[in-house]
């Protein structure tokens, strides 16, 4: 009974190892294949967010909240 369990464990681990190996190979191949199409459909550059003018207001509000919390 124990020997059958060990055989089943080794078979299961072997199947998982083979599956993960195939997954790694397929992922690498698909990365290279998709890289070939990057020139056809280039990605857009990420848009920069406008600078937050209210950052100083946020800092002032935080300082005010801390002062109120400390004083009562």
| Residue 36: predicted pLDDT | 80
Q: What is the pLDDT of residue 28?
A: 95
C-alpha distances in Å from residue 12, one per residue of 4, 16, 45, 65? 12, 6, 45, 59
Average pLDDT over residues 26-52: 80
Which of the given ranges, 16-20, 30-34, 44-48, has the highest pLDDT on average?
16-20
Predicted structure pTM score: 0.49
**Average pLDDT of the residues of the chain:** 85
């Amino acid at each position: 009974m124990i020997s059958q369990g060990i055989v089943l464990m080794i078979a299961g681990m072997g199947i998982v190892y083979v599956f993960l190996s195939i997954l790694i190979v397929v992922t690498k191949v698909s990365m290279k294949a998709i890289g070939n199409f990057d020139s056809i459909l280039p990605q857009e550059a990420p848009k920069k967010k406008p600078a937050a003018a209210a950052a100083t207001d946020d800092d002032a509000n935080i300082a005010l909240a801390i002062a109120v919390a400390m004083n009562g």
